[in-house]
Chains A and B, each alone.
Chain A
Amino acid sequence: MTANTSESPRPVTLTHPSAQHPPRSQMNRVARRFLRHRLAVTGSVMLIAIMLYVTLGALIFTEAQANYNDTSRRLEAPSTQHPFGTDTIGRDILARTIYGGQISLLIGVFAVSVSVTVGVMVGVVSGYYGGWIDGLLMRFTEAMLCIPSLLLLLVISKFLGGRIPDVNFLGREFSGSVIVIIAIIGLTSWMYLARIVRASVLSLKQAEFIVAAEALGAPTRRVILAHILPNILAPVIVSATLGVAGAILSEAYISFLGLGVKPPTATWGNMLDGASRFIAEAPWLWLCPGVLILITVMSINFVGDGLRDALDPRSDNKV
């Protein structure tokens, strides 16, 4: 790994430092390291392209067009009229990948918000308080890790499936299953983050500035919020970024197995449901959403990898 970028020596003057060239901030250094990471930049560019695809595309097609079906035009091969072809009930796949992409990305981001919230809370409480709370929370974490996460996801999605009514959000109608999927992916993927956070908090707790803050009588809430949280941000950001990729994949898997988001709301995952019956007849059916998932997941992984190297230059872990 490269060493820290050395700061230029600051000239000794009597004026206030802010009047001078400000010293390079931590953020600035992180950004520079990130931009030097070739894969990370490639990933960011691809990710921006995907985001433009799902947002600008929505200006060309309406959601009604994405859900419009014409069974006389089912399974049509890509043509000028339907560049990605049509699906099993004659919907335009291009329009569906645009709206499906929005939902898939949305699920990725929101599911990770859930898992980061739970993971950080469990990790901080466990690491900071220790004792029986720690014991209890960590046993619970272990219990969650004992069951393969995909199987757990399937069981819970069966449990919650169809119970949540459709919701109206930002003027659009979403299948209630979107919320279910967000919740269950979030609630089954916080365990590794909780462990990482707990370990960081445990080592931070011994740090002198924490001991000092406690000695000065800072309330626990302040110690946690102002002193501990900012110092565990790096692993949390990296894990959250990579988590978005994982969540998008998880959504694709459960929707692929027919237990995910219910139609007509499209996602990249449920566009694949049933597509495997048309491997030969209609490869565009699975190829288009599949490749979009691949590109998205790959670019997020690249960005996460770059963030890891940029935020923690000491880490040799280039996996």
Chain B
Amino acid sequence: MFKYILRRALQAIPLLFFISFALFGLMQASGDPLATFGGRQPLQPDDRARLARQMGLDQPFLVQYLIWLTGDDWLRWDTDGDRLADHAIIVPLADLEGQPLPPGRRYGIIRGDFGASVQMRKPAIEVIGDKIGPTLLLMGTAQVVIVIVSLVIGILSAVRQYTWVDSLLTSFSFVMYSFPIFLIALLLMYLFAIKFREWGLPYFPISGMFDPRGGVTPQEIAWHMVLPVTSISLISIAGYSRYIRSTMLEVINSDYIRTARAKGLSERRTLMVHAFKNASLPLVTLIGLDIPFLLGGAVVTEQLFGWPGLGSQFINSINASDFPVLMTLLMMISVAVVIFQILTDITYTFLDPRIRY
């Protein structure tokens, strides 16, 4: 088991390097972070050249990647631009032309330095840190709702297979499964915020995380979360509940359930203890593999509801070509995916002793 984990972890390292390299290349080629640096006014050519030099943007791609990865405190820099050494940067700890150059100040991503956000002028990790709370709150709540509701729906329609309950829930899942999330969000907003307000009913807010007048109280946040959580949940419940229904059906038709019934266990006990326990195993995999993707937030939903999370931040950073933030976020998700894949495998072996590695 330990060997298996070690092997998986070692396999993941080149994978992550490859992902980071590909993403870094894509971003370098995709836009100019200095384009929006000066706010509304374009930068003066001199300032532009100086900033590019200071931020290392004038270096060749491979050098930029290396610096992003390992930092530049072991290199000598020429940031004021009066030396010839600008591009000869792999000059390990040697002075150029007798002039001592200051070492760089970056430590690189492998030493936990994710670089500074171009747009916000603070460390990228802080930008992410500010937004991760709201995203985890929103997505975590949604995930809990999704799992609970789809368990109920899935089990109910499996136990009542081919009755009207089943067909009703099945049609519901089929329709919800095809719903674009923005349509459902807009419909919910229209009905529960705008129409309810018109009708004088208590209405839900449609934007932000709290009302500035009300302040940040748990009730405020919960009230603001109702519509976005409902939108996200409705879409995902469809897929999850179909999955639970099919694993549950598989289990119900197996020999050990017949045995449990034959020895006279109550139907309730048979279903809840014997059937559900076994049917929930594949669900663990499904949830485990989905959790890291919660970090990406629900881009469309967050954008629509003005939720200050990582999803909105991602769009924001893309529009500003803020590579350090984008890279930090994407690499964080990739690492989480790898870790959760391993964790899911380990959990599974504990839950299902038939599986050995």
| Chain A interfacial positions (CB closer than 8 Å to B) | 39, 139-140, 142-143, 145-148, 150-151, 154-156, 158-160, 245, 249, 252-253, 256-257, 259, 272, 275-276, 279-280, 283, 286-287, 290-291, 293-294, 297-298, 301-302, 305, 316-319
The answer on a CB contact under 8 Å between A158 and B318 is: yes
Residues of A contacting B18 with CB < 8 Å? Answer: 139-140, 143
The answer on a CB contact under 8 Å between A249 and B190 is: no
Instruction: Choose among B29, B249, B296 the residue that contacts A151 (Cβ–Cβ < 8 A).
Output: B296
The answer on a CB contact under 8 Å between A286 and B186 is: yes
The answer on a CB contact under 8 Å between A294 and B300 is: no
With A143-B22, A150-B299, A259-B318 already in contact, the answer to whether A298 and B246 are too (CB < 8 A) is: no
With A146-B333, A279-B190 already in contact, the answer to whether A290 and B183 are too (CB < 8 A) is: yes
| Chain B interfacial positions (CB closer than 8 Å to A) | 14-15, 18-19, 22-23, 26-27, 29-31, 174-175, 177-183, 186, 189-190, 193-194, 206, 239, 242-243, 245-246, 249-250, 293, 296, 299-300, 303-304, 314-315, 318, 321, 326, 329-330, 333-334, 337-338
Instruction: Choose among A140, A147, A283 the residue that contacts B334 (Cβ–Cβ < 8 A).
Output: A147
With A143-B22, A146-B19, A151-B299 already in contact, the answer to whether A256 and B182 are too (CB < 8 A) is: yes
The answer on a CB contact under 8 Å between B246 and A319 is: yes
With A158-B31, A159-B29, A279-B190 already in contact, the answer to whether A291 and B174 are too (CB < 8 A) is: no
The answer on a CB contact under 8 Å between B19 and A147 is: yes
With A154-B315, A155-B23, A256-B300 already in contact, the answer to whether A280 and B190 are too (CB < 8 A) is: yes
Expressed in whole angstroms, the Cα–Cα distance for A39 and B170 within the complex equals: 11
Write the nearest CB–CB distance from B176 to chain A, whole angstroms.
10
A selection of 20 A-B contacts at a CB cut-off of 8 Å is A139-B14, A143-B18, A145-B337, A148-B293, A148-B333, A150-B296, A151-B314, A154-B299, A155-B27, A156-B30, A158-B30, A158-B318, A245-B178, A279-B194, A280-B190, A290-B180, A291-B183, A294-B178, A316-B250, A319-B242
The answer on a CB contact under 8 Å between A290 and B333 is: no
Expressed in whole angstroms, the Cα–Cα distance for A160 and B31 within the complex equals: 10
Residues of A contacting B330 with CB < 8 Å? Answer: 147, 151, 155
Write the nearest CB–CB distance from A70 to chain B, whole angstroms.
26
Closest 7 pairs between A and B when the two form their complex, measured CB to CB: A159-B30, A298-B178, A290-B183, A148-B296, A319-B242, A297-B178, A146-B334
Residues of B contacting A317 with CB < 8 Å? Answer: 246
With A143-B22, A286-B183, A301-B178 already in contact, the answer to whether A257 and B334 are too (CB < 8 A) is: no
Q: A148-B293, A150-B299, A279-B194 are in contact. List 8 more A-B contacts (CB 8 A).
A: A139-B15, A150-B296, A151-B299, A151-B330, A155-B23, A276-B182, A291-B183, A317-B246
Expressed in whole angstroms, the Cα–Cα distance for A146 and B12 within the complex equals: 11
Expressed in whole angstroms, the Cα–Cα distance for A318 and B242 within the complex equals: 8
Residues of B contacting A298 with CB < 8 Å? Answer: 174-175, 178
The answer on a CB contact under 8 Å between A290 and B182 is: yes
The answer on a CB contact under 8 Å between B183 and A294 is: yes
Residues of A contacting B242 with CB < 8 Å? Answer: 319
Expressed in whole angstroms, the Cα–Cα distance for A39 and B15 within the complex equals: 42
Q: Is the interface of A mostly helix, strand, loop or mixed?
A: helix
Expressed in whole angstroms, the Cα–Cα distance for A252 and B181 within the complex equals: 10
Chain A residue nearest in CB terms to B18: A143
Write the nearest CB–CB distance from B145 to chain A, whole angstroms.
20
The answer on a CB contact under 8 Å between B246 and A318 is: yes
Chain A residue nearest in CB terms to B315: A257
Residues of A contacting B315 with CB < 8 Å? Answer: 154, 257
Instruction: Choose among B22, B174, B300 the residue that contacts A301 (Cβ–Cβ < 8 A).
Output: B174
Instruction: Choose among A156, A159, A279 the residue that contacts B189 (Cβ–Cβ < 8 A).
Output: A279
The answer on a CB contact under 8 Å between A301 and B177 is: yes
With A279-B206, A290-B182 already in contact, the answer to whether A257 and B189 are too (CB < 8 A) is: no
Expressed in whole angstroms, the Cα–Cα distance for A209 and B181 within the complex equals: 47
The answer on a CB contact under 8 Å between A293 and B19 is: no
Instruction: Choose among A39, A151, A253 the residue that contacts B174 (Cβ–Cβ < 8 A).
Output: A39
Residues of A contacting B186 with CB < 8 Å? Answer: 275-276, 279, 286-287, 290
Write the nearest CB–CB distance from A139 to chain B, whole angstroms.
6
Expressed in whole angstroms, the Cα–Cα distance for A4 and B337 within the complex equals: 42
Write the nearest CB–CB distance from B299 to chain A, whole angstroms.
6
Residues of B contacting A140 with CB < 8 Å? Answer: 18
The answer on a CB contact under 8 Å between B183 and A154 is: no
The answer on a CB contact under 8 Å between A257 and B180 is: no
Residues of A contacting B180 with CB < 8 Å? Answer: 249, 252-253, 290, 293-294, 297
Expressed in whole angstroms, the Cα–Cα distance for A95 and B247 within the complex equals: 46
Write the nearest CB–CB distance from A160 to chain B, whole angstroms.
8
Instruction: Choose among B26, B183, B250 the residue that contacts A155 (Cβ–Cβ < 8 A).
Output: B26
Expressed in whole angstroms, the Cα–Cα distance for A301 and B177 within the complex equals: 9
The answer on a CB contact under 8 Å between B182 and A272 is: yes
Expressed in whole angstroms, the Cα–Cα distance for A275 and B181 within the complex equals: 14
Write the nearest CB–CB distance from B16 to chain A, whole angstroms.
8
Write the nearest CB–CB distance from B333 to chain A, whole angstroms.
6
Residues of B contacting A297 with CB < 8 Å? Answer: 178, 180
Write the nearest CB–CB distance from A41 to chain B, whole angstroms.
14
Most chain-A Cβ atoms within 10 A of its Cβ — which of B31, B174, B304?
B174
